[in-house]
Copies of this chain bind each other. A is one copy, B any other.
Amino acid sequence: MTKFLSDNAAPVHPKVWEAMRAADEADNPYDGDALSAQLDERFSDLFGRDCAAMWTATGTAANCLALGTMVQPHGAVVCHEEAHIEVDEGGAPGFYLHGAKLMLAQGEGAKLTPDGIAALIDPIRDDVHQVQPHAISITQASEYGRTYLPAELSALSEFAQSRGLGLHMDGARFANSAAFLGGSAADAAGNVDTLAFGFIKNGGMSAEAVVLFDAELAAQVKYRRKRAGHLQCKGRYLAAQILAMLEGDLWLANARHSNAAAQDIASGCGPRLMHAVEANELFVRLSPEERAALRSQGFDFYDWGADAARFVTAWNTRAEDASALGKAIASL
């Protein structure tokens, strides 16, 4: 079976294994080790602006810890109605934000726009009976594999600022968007306040980074990470993963690889594509019979509703498999 189910169960990249093994020697526990100590600087270099960066074991925790810096319990986060934090995180934002609400905006390709957000929040009266938005959360790449362009990010951050809202980016597949945009992490992040920078889907094992562009908030997040049971005592193994991914831009190389595989598949899809392919996910109109046909050829993937399928490529997807899938779809 050639699996295009998801990138979230892919093996760990050999260089990440190597870095973890190299970290085996005992060091200070928690994040007092020499590797964790490098994170702030490495991410500040990468983004070209000062930031603080901390490891966590999951994107869910990373998103929630970041949002906690900008949302009070009596407020709300504006996100897309199909955002991962709304539909796939088991209510984690409600837990971490102590009952704050998610407000669901609409937008093509699971992307938010200032207009879409304004349509949602402008009718909210400044009145204690109504929960007020405190922040916006966007996903890069979006839940439909779309990438926010720098101009779109600028518009969103200006909008957020004009409304006094924080701006968070769920970057579970941030690397794929950065690769799509030419390789600049700064371009892909725009002017967000916080970023959950994903490494696990892209070759890591168990380490994402919470990136805070207001580094003063780091102390609060560190207390809350511990409080959430996310301060691992052998944190050096998480830092090692992230540093290995940053080293020599492995994160970009891996993302370019999976993006290229996705483009190969896309080239066989034509008008079947439901969304432009701007990362490593494809949503393809396929009838039940067509899906059965593909599966009988050895391709594995998720149904997406009744008449479509989702394909996800990963850092280890073989080029020939992607190419074969593209051709198989084209031949249906």
Residues of A within 8 A of B (CB): 3, 6, 8-12, 17, 21, 24-30, 33, 56-58, 60-62, 64, 72-74, 76, 87-101, 128-132, 200-201, 205-206, 220, 222-234, 236-238
Contact partners of A97 in chain B: CB under 8 A: 99
User: A74 and B90: CB pair below 8 A?
Assistant: yes
Q: A26-B11, A73-B95, A130-B87 are in contact. Are A228 and B226 (CB under 8 A)?
A: no
Please give me the residue from chain B that is nearest to A6 by CB atom: B29
A89: chain B residues at CB < 8 Å are 129, 226-227, 229
Q: Which residues of B contact A228 (CB under 8 A)?
A: 61, 92, 95, 228-229
Flag if A237 contacts B95 (CB, 8 Å): no
A192 to B220, CA, bound (A): 25
- Which residues on B sit within 8 Å (CB–CB) of A33? 9
Q: Give chain B residues whose Cβ lies under 8 Å from the Cβ of A17.
A: 21
Question: Smallest distance from the beta carbon of A83 to chain B beta carbons, Å?
Answer: 13
B9 touches A57 (CB 8 A): no
In chain B, what residue has the closest Cβ to A124?
Answer: B87
Closest to A26 in B: B9
Inter-subunit contact B224/A74 (CB<8 Å): yes
Pair B96/A206 contact, Cβ less than 8 Å: no
Question: A229-B60, A229-B230 in contact; A220/B26 too (CB < 8 A)?
Answer: no
For A11, what are the chain B residues with a Cβ–Cβ distance below 8 Å?
24-26
Residues of B within 8 A of A231 (CB): 58, 60, 90, 128-129
Chain B residues whose C-beta falls within 8 Å of the C-beta of A58 in the assembled complex: 229-233
* Nearest 10 A/B pairs, CB to CB: A94-B99, A61-B229, A90-B226, A60-B229, A128-B226, A8-B233, A9-B29, A98-B98, A91-B131, A11-B24
The residues of B that contact A88 with a CB separation of less than 8 Å are: 129-130
Q: Which residue of B lies closest to A129 (CB)?
A: B88
Contact A64 B229 (CB under 8 A): yes
Instruction: Beyond A9-B29, A11-B24, A12-B24, list 20 extra A-B contacts (CB 8 Å).
Output: A56-B229, A58-B229, A61-B228, A61-B230, A62-B229, A73-B73, A73-B95, A74-B220, A76-B91, A90-B231, A91-B99, A94-B94, A95-B227, A128-B225, A128-B231, A200-B234, A201-B233, A205-B237, A206-B232, A206-B238
When C-beta atoms are compared, the residue in chain B nearest to A225 turns out to be: B128
Partner of A92 from B98, B200, B227 at Cβ < 8 Å: B227
Q: Report whether B27 and A9 are in contact in the complex, using a CB–CB cutoff of 8 Å.
A: yes
